[in-house]
Amino acid sequence: MSAFRLLGAVTRKELLDGLRDRRSLVTLVFSTVLTPVLLGVLLSTTAGSQRGAEDLALPVVGAEHAPAFVHWLGQQTGVRVVPGPADAEKAVLDRVEDVVLIIEPDFMERMSRAQTAEVKLVAESSRDRARPKISRVRALVGGYAGQLASLRLIARGVAPGIASPIRIEDVEVSSSQARLAALLSFLPLLLVIAGLVGGMQIAIDSTAGERERGSLEPLLLNPVPRWVIAGGKWLAASALGCASVLFSLVITVSVLRRIPWHDMGIRFRVTDGELFSLLLLLLPLAMLLAAVVLFASTFARSFKEAQGYMGMLMLVPMLPGMLATMYPLSRRPWLAPVPILGQYALASDVLGGQPPGAAGYLISGVAALICAVALVALTARAMTREHIVFGR
């Protein structure tokens, strides 16, 4: 039998053994589905908060003390003034209202004297949902105060520009697609973790698990090259890891298409083809991560010990992923040959609407596979050592 047929036989054997563990499969599917769903809930909640700030029902206590101010508020786009609760602080603490505006009884009297009038903004800034509304109300009150200040200066024959020697004009140069890419910068990290978790079970069970059960010895007694055995285990773990990435991406794309991006001022222009092109970047990386887990698990004496190693191995894809969310890696094609960092950098380009050329996909994929094959070779070499085969 040729070596490649033996390789296929070992791969099928490991896959069948891994697929028989229904509990692990259920856990894998649940974790793969849960992450995109939680992502969708988080983004939908953020969009709902932005929409709530734009279509603002503003409770006002003491509206009769400032009819002109309240009328001006009601004329602003998306603002609807409603009567405030009797106890504003209790209503906010009980989360009946997100923000309440209180106008003091002496508002008109102080205005007539050109004095500073006070209004109270009752809010709970620790609530993420309330922050967009709080910012909107602050901007409204500040805008009205600015208009009154200008009118007071004009009434005294003073140009309003004297009080504002410098005026800031915001010029936003980032595109909607760039803001979307920044918002979805953690998406590649989620898919990479899905690939790592997907191949982890088979990689650990086929090395540390077999070593603990004593089934690794008779397997290695067969007249089969060590690289065939290590390669079959790696391909089996890679197959499940790649399937996990694909399944997670399908669920994620379905979730992203149902998020009201327009409420956050973003146009979702990433096509399904561009999203699925992430597979060309992440599938080789999933195979590399399967090789990393396989190599590390070979030195573990038990399944539990190998699982202890996974806490440290999880940092391998997570640290570059967190770096990518904090420090922009887009438009850095020279990172393509660097495993993990290259995939994150090119994924940022895809989400930013500037997918790399075929050379970028090829270089990053080949670099990851070369590292994976090197680790499999090291694993095969480790299987020739007596303390690995017979040590428990």
Beta-carbon contacts of residue 83 (< 8 Å; ≥ 6 apart): 59, 60, 61, 63
Residues 368 and 229 in one domain: yes
Length of the chain as a residue count: 392
| 246-272 exposure pattern, b = at least 16 Cβ within 10 A, e = fewer | bbbbebbeebbeebebebbebebebee
Q: Is residue 173 part of a domain?
A: no
Q: Is residue 286 part of a domain?
A: yes
Whole-angstrom distance, CA of residue 61 vs CA of residue 66: 10
Residues 210 and 153 in one domain: no
Q: Is residue 172 part of a domain?
A: no
Q: Is residue 72 part of a domain?
A: yes
Q: Where are the beta strands (DSSP E) in the chain?
A: 56-61, 79-83, 99-103, 119-123
Q: What is the layout of strands, in order, in the sheet containing 56-61?
A: 79-83, 56-61, 99-103, 119-123
Higher model confidence: residue 85 or residue 205? 85
Phi, psi angles (nearest 5°) of residue 217 = -60, -55
Question: How would residue 373 be classed by pLDDT, with cut points 50, 70 and 90?
Answer: very high
Residues 24 and 108 in one domain: no
Q: Is residue 348 part of a domain?
A: yes
Q: Is residue 50 part of a domain?
A: no
For the chain, the distance separating the N- and C-terminal CA atoms, rounded to the nearest angstrom, is 32
Q: Each residue of 242-273: pLDDT tens digit?
A: 888 888 888 888 887 777 766 666 666 677 77
Whole-angstrom distance, CA of residue 198 vs CA of residue 244: 5
Instruction: Look up the domain containing 63 and give its range.
Output: 55-165
Q: Each residue of 21-31: pLDDT tens digit?
A: 776 677 677 76
Average pLDDT taken over every residue of the chain: 80
Q: What is the pLDDT of residue 374?
A: 93
Of 79, 83, 190, 91, the C-alpha closest to 139 is: 79
Give the relative orientation of helices 278-298 and 315-326 as an angle to the nearest 10 degrees: 140
Residues 103 and 188 in one domain: no
Beta-carbon contacts of residue 220 (< 8 Å; ≥ 6 apart): 226, 229, 383, 389
Residue listed under structure tokens 């983004």? 43
Q: Each residue of 58-81: pLDDT tens digit?
A: 899 988 988 889 889 888 888 888
Beta-carbon contacts of residue 96 (< 8 Å; ≥ 6 apart): 85
The CATH code of the domain that includes 81 is 3.40.190
Whole-angstrom distance, CA of residue 203 vs CA of residue 239: 11
Q: Each residue of 303-321: pLDDT tens digit?
A: 777 777 777 777 777 777 7
For the segment 194-223, the average pLDDT, to the nearest whole number, is 79
Residues 191 and 322 in one domain: yes
Higher model confidence: residue 184 or residue 178? 184
Residue ending a domain, choose from 165, 191, 207: 165
**3-state SS class at 100:** strand
* Cβ(268)–Cβ(353) below 8 Å: no
Residues 35 and 78 in one domain: no
Q: Is residue 73 part of a domain?
A: yes
Residues 217 and 329 in one domain: yes
Q: What is the pLDDT of residue 1?
A: 57
Of 186, 383, 185, 375, the C-alpha closest to 287 is: 375
Q: Is residue 326 part of a domain?
A: yes
Residues 25 and 127 in one domain: no
Residues 12 and 111 in one domain: no
Residue listed under structure tokens 């030195």? 299
Residues 190 and 148 in one domain: no
Residue ending a domain, choose from 112, 136, 165: 165
Residue ending a domain, choose from 135, 165, 195: 165
Residue listed under structure tokens 């998306």? 78
Q: Which sign, positive or negative, has the C-alpha torsion 294, 298, 300, 301?
A: positive
Q: Each residue of 143-183: pLDDT tens digit?
A: 888 888 888 878 777 777 776 777 777 766 666 666 666 66
Residues 348 and 263 in one domain: yes
Of 201, 217, 223, 231, the C-alpha closest to 392 is: 217
Residues 226 and 114 in one domain: no
Domain count, the chain: 2
Give the angle subtended at the CA of 329 by the CAs of 259 and 257, to the nearest 5°.
Answer: 15
Question: How would residue 49 be classed by pLDDT, with cut points 50, 70 and 90?
Answer: low
